[in-house]
Structure 1
Amino acid sequence: MNNSAASLPLDQQVVFISGGARGLGEHLVRAFLGEGARVVINYLHSAQAAEQLAALAPQRTIALQADVCHAHAVAEAVSAARDYFGLPITTVVNNALPSFSFNGDARPQADTLSWEDIHQQMEGIVRGALNTTQAALPGMREIGFGRIINVGTNLFQNPVVPYHDYTAAKAALLSLTRTLSQDLGPQGITVNMVSGGLLRTTDASSATPEAVFDLIAASTPLRKVTTPAEFADAALFFASPWSRSVTGQNLVVDGGLVKN
């Protein structure tokens, strides 16, 4: 391994953010751009939003459409990003979320939950993360450095609302985080997870009643609901040189609601 690459500064990194055009993804893009990184804004349907976001720093961003459920499409996007920047992907943030709404009234109940519900979330969350990770691995191995950051949830520790399908997929992603960290650590690649609760507010959480947000805020030591921008700031840690000896971990960013 190239030891000089073990703590690559953020402003020398090329960051692939899946689902980066809107919601939490937009805040992740803005956070990495703020630290001088080059950023690949991956999107599925939100082309206009992705292009508008890329226009904030046109020399350091590229918006690329790819369905993370399809390995070939992801590999093509990673190749296009390398051609554009002249550098391999150093950091992957697995943020893409299949179509989902945090609406407790509309969620599948225990007796209506189908395997198709779970499979849809597994496809987007777990398969998507596997595809992006595998596409970026050759470049990471080439330079002896890599950062994989998976977006999780605190709901499998505190299922205040039992979103069975979403939570099952995120729990599987935590398991993959830990096993990949064991496999890839010797190559200078760390794999970690950042887990929020409900964020105030994203597209996915917009269906959540204000009363629920207020209840969560009252239950946290900080007496507030974490914002997408605050979550994105925490994600920077796992890409930064300050986390160079941290891997296989799950950082819960929810104002102290869940003690991990």
Structure 2
Amino acid sequence: MNTSKLFDLEGKTAIVTGGANGIGKASCKMLAAHGAKVVVSDYDLEAAKKTAKEINDEGGKAIAIDCDVTKDEALVSLVEKTIEKFSRIHILVNNVGGGGAGKESPYDIDVKQFKKVYEMNVFSMWRLCQLVAPHMKEAGYGSIINMSSMASINKSPAISAYASSKAAINHMTRNLAFDYGPDEIRINAIGPGAVRTHALSTVLTPEIEKRMLAHTPIKRLGEPEDIAGAVLYFAAPISKWTSGQVLFVNGGGEQTLD
């Protein structure tokens, strides 16, 4: 068996939304390290440019494109600019997400805020899948990776919009696998546990971390690279018969405060 080709992304083009920081940045760098040309897409263009420069300085190939995923014209432009630059699209990492724990009490938010979470987390993913699928079919290779969350299966207060949107991503992914499978396009989702990102660092204390790890067999929080490894698996030929799956990467447990 020739194992050298199983993770080889040479000649492939990948779009990563929310690619400037955290899990998105780690995913961009992981894909580039294995040969992919990477489009670092982010609302913050300057941050996206910095990530792209890091990749290029390390010998990879990347460009930055600004994109507000809640605007359809921005999604269309992202795909068009990618084709203009690299001619093909083979991989899409739908990483952008918003909302979260403690911010979504039904006593405090309204329908407009609830809808905004779905526009960012669900509608944008579905639309980008629709936009890239014809290009993947033409290229003869397609892998779509949607970023879900452990919140999609956990139950907690003040997180109903975010959690239900991530649950929607899981089932949307499973169903779209049937739509895109005949065109040899695989679609899967990743559900990260608690990962050391900037957002988490703003609320994390030693006490909170200890409580979060009480039900986690691997006694540490995740790192962005842990999730990027799962992204690589789904993006690469090694997973060529894997579709419609949701992979939870969480140290074997749940990082809750219960």
Bin for the TM-score computed over the shorter chain: 0.7 to 0.9
Rounded Cα–Cα distance in structure 2 between residues aligned with 1:231 and 1:8: 16
SS for the counterpart of 1:57 is helix
8 Å contact kept, 1:94–1:151: yes
Offset at 1:64?
0.5
Task: Extract unaligned runs of 5+ from structure 2.
Answer: 1-5
Which whole-Å deviations, capped at 9, do the CAs of 1:98-143 have from their partners, x for residues lacking one?
Answer: 3x455x3xx2324334322321110001111122212211211112
Structure 1 contact 32–236 (Cα < 8 Å) conserved: yes
Give the Cα separation in 2 of the matches to 1:27 and 1:161: 30
2:221 partner amino acid = V
**Counterpart contact for 1:216–1:224, Cα < 8 Å:** no
Per-residue deviation, 1:160: 4.8
Residue 92 of structure 2 is matched in structure 1 by 92
Match of 1:248 in 2: 244
CA distance in 2, matches of 1:8, 1:77: 26
Q: Does 1:24 align with 2:19?
A: no
Correspondence for 2:54 among 52, 56, 78: 56
SS in 1 for 2:144: strand
Change beyond 3 A, Cα 1:120–1:204: farther
Stretch moving more, 29-38 or 180-189? 29-38
SS at match of 2:83: helix
Superposition deviation, residue 71 in structure 1:
2.4
TM-score by length of 2: 0.88
Kindly state the Cα deviation for residue 205 of structure 1 after the two structures are TM-superposed. Answer: 2.0
Relative distance call for 1:133 and 1:247 in structure 2 (3 A) is same
**Identity among equivalent pairs (%):** 29
What residue in structure 1 maps to residue 199 of structure 2? Answer: 204
CA contact (8 A) 1:68 1:128 kept: yes
Distance (Å, rounded) in 2 between the aligned partners of 1:42 and 1:126: 17
**Deviation at residue 206 of structure 1 after TM alignment:** 2.9
| CA contact 1:194–1:251 (8 Å) conserved in 2 | yes
Q: Does 1:40 align with 2:39?
A: yes
For residues 226 and 118 of structure 2, the distance between their equivalents in structure 1, rounded to whole angstroms, comes to 26
Post-superposition CA distance 1:156-205 (Å, at most 9, x none): 322356521111111111111011101110110011001012212x2332
TM-score, length-scaled by structure 1: 0.87
Question: Does structure 1 residue 169 correspond to structure 2 residue 192?
Answer: no
Q: Secondary structure at the match of 2:96?
A: coil
Comparing 235-244 with 48-57, greater Cα deviation is found at 48-57
Within a 5 Å distance, the mapping from 1:1-260 to structure 2 comes to 9-44=8-43, 46-58=44-56, 60-85=61-86, 87-98=87-98, 100=99, 102=101, 104=102, 107-160=103-156, 162-200=158-196, 202-210=197-205, 211-257=207-253
Cα distance in 2 for residues equivalent to 1:49 and 1:111? 35
Instruction: Give the counterpart letter for 2:85 in structure 1.
Output: Y
Distance 1:132 1:166, change over 3 A: same
What root-mean-square deviation, in Å, do the aligned CA atoms of Structure 1 and Structure 2 show?
1.9
Match of 1:155, SS state, is: helix
